[in-house]
Amino acid sequence: MKFPSSTGFALFGAALVAISYGLARFAFGLFVPPIRAELELTPYVIGIIGALPLVSFLLATLVAPLAADRLGARNTAMLSGGFGVVGLALISQSSGPLSLGAGVFACGICTGLMMPALTAAMQALVNRSLHGRVSAVMNAGTSIGVAVAVPAVLFLAGAWRYAYLSFAILAGIGVVAAWYFIPSVSRIIPSDAAPPPPINALQWSRLFRLSLFAFVMGFVSSAYWIFAPDLVVTLGDLPPTATGWLWLAVGIAGLGGAVVADLADRNNPAITHALMLMMLAASLALLAASPGQLLIAAFSALVFGLAYMSLTGLYLMTGIRLLPGRLALGPVFPFMAVSLGQATGSPLLGTLVSRFGYADAFAMFAAIGILVALLSPLYPRHIEHEPVEEIEEETGLQAAYDYQLQDEEGEPIRSES
């Protein structure tokens, strides 16, 4: 068995993220119009169901670092894929809100387990200096998954059951690929090794601020992910197949999020955060203002895709920077906050849509995004560390084991050659 190189692992991880995030989680909004019509669901019920995968994602994320430590990277990734297969298959056969809700709940567990499994594997296969960049590339896999779902809507209008069945098959292929390519390295530290340093007060403070920003971004973005397709169909009178072009635009533009997040991480995260959150809010306002104009709606999707993927990539990399050496834990806090924000925003927006209509509800969420973007100067900076001598690091399974052995100062024990 040959494990992938750093570049190969980044692309492989992006493919697994495409399945677990793009298909199992975010593609649901694309199929809301036909699902809602066939199962006769109200906007409020759709809002509740749309929040379920976010709740299960939150619960899975709580235990994901422990699972990655105890089960190892390979088994955790396979467990994630297994939940994806079950959830996607349940959605394809759903006959009402209960079975549909059970399916999307299982998909949320799939999503919550995947990234910690990949970051645990990344410690074994990727040079530490490349962790941030590889994470950004993997995070952009969400856009690939969203784009893959588009042909099902463009060419199989109304055939959402067949689409989800095909997604389940892709998830099964992902399980097999995870077994073959991901090492079964566990990050359990030997009992005689020095424990990692505890998270200090400064780190907790900055993680809290990061999580607050991530929560608001998730809250605002939930409007687009869950209700944008239904908005253009219901308010804009566009055909259901037109929603496919929205998600295609989201997927294409989202690929640029890896580049923006990497540049922001190396330059000025606060300014980039303000700009991207403003763009996210503008995409909601633009869609609500012209839902019947396909070109304008597609442009709003381009803006949303770039902004959302840039922000999630930035949160991911900031979490890694704030908790160096804890790769399975660093992304957990901001990703939990994003999910909690989406789980809160989805049912609330469903209620606002029922009471005020789509246009006013989207405008309210856009206003919240703009207000919080003005607070971006409070975005947490990285923890400054003492400069260390640059040395060439080994990667691979033996190196992964060596890095687990630490001296009394918490530094890796290196074998003498």
Q: Please, what are the domains in the chain?
A: 6-183+200-381 (1.20.1250.20)
Buried b (16+ CB within 10 A) or exposed e, 41-53: bebebbbbbbbbb
User: What pLDDT score does 416 carry?
Assistant: 47
Buried b (16+ CB within 10 A) or exposed e, 3-19: bbebeebbbbbbbbbbb
231 or 171: which leads in pLDDT: 171
- pLDDT score, position 364: 93
Straight-line distance from the first to the last Cα atom of the chain, in angstroms, rounded to the nearest whole number: 26
Q: Quickly list DSSP for 50-62.
A: HHHHHHHHHHHHH
CA dihedral 70, 76, 82, 85 (to 10 degrees): 150
154 and 35 Cβ atoms separated by less than 8 Å: no
Residue 257's Cβ-count burial label (10 Å; 0-12, 13-18, 19+) is buried
Query: Rounded CA gap, 110 and 79, in Å?
Result: 8
Report the C-alpha gap between 317 and 133 in whole angstroms. 8
- Structure-block tokens of residue 399: 């190196």
Q: How far apart, in whole angstroms, are the C-alpha atoms of residue 263 and residue 259? A: 6
Nearest to 22, CA basis, from 92, 107, 132, 127:
107
187 confidence band (pLDDT: 50, 70, 90): very low
Model confidence at 396, pLDDT cuts 50, 70, 90, reads very low
Q: What is the Cα–Cα distance from 161 to 210, expressed in whole angstroms?
A: 38
Confidence bin at 190 (pLDDT 50/70/90) = very low
Alpha helices by DSSP H, 72-199? 73-92, 97-125, 131-139, 141-148, 150-155, 160-181
The pLDDT tens digits of the residues spanning 53-97 come to 878 988 898 888 788 878 888 899 999 999 999 999 999 999 899
Contact 218, 341 (CB under 8 A): yes
Q: What is the mean pLDDT of residues 330-334?
A: 78
pLDDT bracket for residue 365 (50, 70, 90): very high
pLDDT of res. 218:
93
Mean pLDDT lowest for which of 3-12, 73-82, 273-282? Answer: 3-12
Kindly report, residue by residue over 109-159, the tens digit of the pLDDT. Answer: 999 899 888 888 887 777 776 776 787 788 778 878 877 777 776 676 568
Rg of the chain, C-alpha, whole Å: 21
- Does the pLDDT of residue 227 top 90, yes or no? no
What is the model's pTM?
A: 0.72
